Structure 1
Amino acid sequence: MALRHFAPDELVLSPEQTKEVLIMFWPNQRNAIGTLSIIDADRSFAQALLVESVNANRGIGIVEGLFRTFYRPNPSALSAIMAVIAVARRRNWLSDNSINPNTFKLYDAVRVTLARNFRTEIELRIQTGEYVGY
């Protein structure tokens, strides 16, 4: 699974929102993520995770979704999610532009799967200060 890369002029998230999004995916890395000096690559990575999670979320069937739990982000992460969805809809980054940012709910299974798939990237960023592979 490859994440989209965003040019600097496409970035929506602020440095603080970026940290909140990364913490949303890796809550066990809260302290390490909190100390990062956020760069554009971090902002692009977090934004790409959000766009991918919105697209993957739509892939979960309605019936299956009824049995899934939803992830409830904190208010600042929620505002970041809403901002990215709003811009993503305008720029056609989503597979389904009918998504309403005000009613969007992120399936925990999607969040956990993306966190698992991109764990190496965040760990290398924390340990080395660089992204390898993203």
Structure 2
Amino acid sequence: MSGWTEDELARIGDAGEMRITSRDGGGGLRRPRTIWVVRQGGDLYVRSVNGPGSSWYRGTRDRLAGHVSAGGVEADVAFEDADDALDDRIDAAYRDKYGASSAAVGSITSATARSTTMRLVRA
């Protein structure tokens, strides 16, 4: 279970962007980054458009914990690798939300970005 309420899922899922921050080695928060977020069923997913080399994505791998802000919701989260079987559905969610013809959507649904798909679990 992702721990989100239906209201939080709706508010974050409808938000155009999310501010995401990972925790550093001492437990503090790193610099926030603005990214896209999509809802798939009762879960929220994020990807790194620049793939696994992105600094914010690498930061999530250190402690698998952070903080998000979107749609008026502020929450501490755990980052979990998403099930690869969901990639096509998550791609569709990105296309539906951000426009199938957008060049950025082409990047966020690329094999490189798909390899970074994470599920956000409310801590």
TM-score (norm 1): 0.31
**Greater helix fraction, Structure 1 or Structure 2:** 1
Larger Rg: 1
**Greater strand fraction, Structure 1 or Structure 2:** 2
TM-score (norm 2): 0.33
